Amino acid sequence: MADSSPSFSHTLVLVANRGATSLTPVDTQMARDLVRGAAPVTLSEGEAVEIACPAPDAWDAPDIGAAREVFAGRGIDVLVTPRANRRKRLLVADMDSTIVSCETLDDIATHAGIGEKIAEITRRSMNGEIEFESALHERVALLRGLPVSLLEKAWKDVGLNTGAQELVRTMRAHGARTALVSGGFTFFTSRVAEICGFDENHANTLLATDGKLTGEVGRPILGPDAKLEHLRRLVAQGGLDMADAMATGDGANDLAMLRVAGAGIAFHAKPAVRREISNQVNTTTLRSLLFAQGYHVDEFVTP
């Protein structure tokens, strides 16, 4: 077992992209030397190990950013979390490009023949270049008069990111509350939540009349502030501390909740998010969020 010395207040986790590489003893020893850590513990053979270590500011070594650069070219993600409250009792997750592999509004636009125009606005919004709510209104307005049936066509393009069901179902099986909170639309979140097993889901509502989209979104708008408020509400309702919560997302509209959650993890995130959030999953899958909490692969609940 890993050393539980009081000086080892944190845990470094290495996770390899199983489709591209495997962890080697050399990788593990390099990480252990970097953080002056304890003997490694295998969480998944060739895929994930954890190393108990001092707090990052106590390392006689480069910071976590430097460690990440060392391993990035090997297809390995590096996460560092406090050992206390490691297994979270609440998960709040973004949907588009996090739980699912696509941007659902962009997919609707593609079927409408205006994909590139809307995708560019999405890109700028998710990177924090333009304000979320105005970008949402601008994009949805371009859908005015289009048939609601486009949503069903876009749904056929939606695919879960690897590990989404394992993440949600494993955390629920161990007593965590799970919520899907999206700046997208309830048409999609309700279906994704059911497939993954989320306890609840929240998103925006596309308005329609006589089978056609009005180009408007129902109020109130669910944006960055609303995501944070849902996180705070769920913490309070569960009698939890913010340290008990994990949040994950990829865009600038996720930053508010990523900043305050006990474990805020940027998932294949936009540059603006990667610049601010230190714990990042850049090359691997949502399984990494379980390894970050110390789950062994044998504990995963698979579909």
Catalytic residue ranges: 94, 96
Positive or negative torsion for Cα 61, 260, 247, 120: negative
Nearest to 2 by CA among 44, 42, 31, 34: 42
Asked if 2 contacts 52 with a C-beta cutoff of 8 angstroms, the reply is yes
Report the chain's terminal Cα–Cα distance, integer Å. 29
Structure tokens of 141? 């307005």
Residue 160, C-beta contacts closer than 8 angstroms, at least 6 positions apart? 99, 100, 101, 192, 195, 196
Asked if 81 contacts 13 with a C-beta cutoff of 8 angstroms, the reply is yes
Asked if 125 contacts 270 with a C-beta cutoff of 8 angstroms, the reply is no
Structure tokens of 242? 């913010």
